[in-house]
């Protein structure tokens, strides 16, 4: 199947794209775009991969669902385009970065600049119906993103995985802990952030790990 995705990812995921579940998923997603309002835009579905080629991946952040409000989702977990109001979880992420590293809260919530530094910002489910959280769960996306995480774990070394909340932690069970850094905490949502997301120091810990591994740090 000819999936429009960055070439290095196309190579490592080529077997996944030929599996029956992925054909069923593609048929479902195409039909949804034709009949419903779906986020993100079709061209942005694989944005996380297109901005962060496989050979550059050094950090993985796992979200759950794309934002389901107009103009928010653009293919990177937690990220919104410039000019869009920060959703609460993103606001809390920036607050922790400020607490952890003293970096001022940015004016833009677009995390493309992280992706371009080797941060894979992947949601478990890559599409969603407008105003219907979770509407594209259990259609095959989770199988695909599990495969992505497994391939990164198996084929790369010294990757920092940031797993926020029980859902991300469950998806992270396939990661080889002997050669990667796994950082876990509660989710940055307002419901849980004060119970351990604030003060988790994941951003400084990630950079310390990357530096120790001989890799360039991330400018958060």
Q: What residues act catalytically? A: 65
Closest CA relative to residue 41, chosen from 88, 87, 76, 90: 76
User: How many Cα atoms occupy the beta-carbon half-sphere of 71 within 13 Å?
Assistant: 6
For CA atoms 179, 58, 210, 80, give the dihedral sign.
negative
| 90 contacts 109 by C-beta, under 8 angstroms | yes
Closest CA relative to residue 102, chosen from 185, 203, 217: 203
| 33 contacts 26 by C-beta, under 8 angstroms | no
The whole-angstrom separation of Cα 173 and Cα 12 is 20
């Amino acid at each position: 199947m000819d999936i429009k995705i960055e070439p290095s990812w196309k190579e490592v995921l080529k077997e996944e794209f030929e599996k029956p579940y992925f054909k069923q998923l593609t048929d479902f997603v195409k039909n949804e775009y034709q009949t419903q309002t779906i986020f993100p835009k079709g061209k942005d579905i694989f944005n996380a991969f297109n901005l962060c080629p496989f050979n550059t991946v050094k950090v993985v952040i796992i979200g759950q669902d794309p934002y389901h409000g107009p103009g928010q989702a653009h293919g990177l977990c937690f990220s919104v385009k410039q000019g869009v109001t920060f959703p609460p979880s993103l606001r809390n992420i920036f607050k922790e970065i400020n607490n952890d590293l003293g970096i001022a809260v940015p004016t833009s919530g677009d995390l493309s600049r992280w992706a371009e530094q080797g941060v894979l910002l992947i949601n478990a489910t890559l599409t969603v119906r407008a105003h219907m959280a979770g509407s594209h769960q259990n259609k095959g996306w989770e199988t695909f993103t599990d495969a992505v995480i497994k391939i990164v774990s198996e084929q790369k070394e010294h990757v920092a995985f940031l797993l926020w909340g029980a859902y991300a932690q469950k998806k992270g069970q396939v990661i080889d802990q002997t050669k990667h850094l796994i950082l876990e905490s509660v989710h940055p949502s307002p419901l849980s952030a004060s119970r351990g997301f604030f003060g988790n120091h994941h951003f400084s810990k990630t950079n310390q790990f990357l530096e120790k591994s001989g890799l360039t740090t991330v400018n958060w």
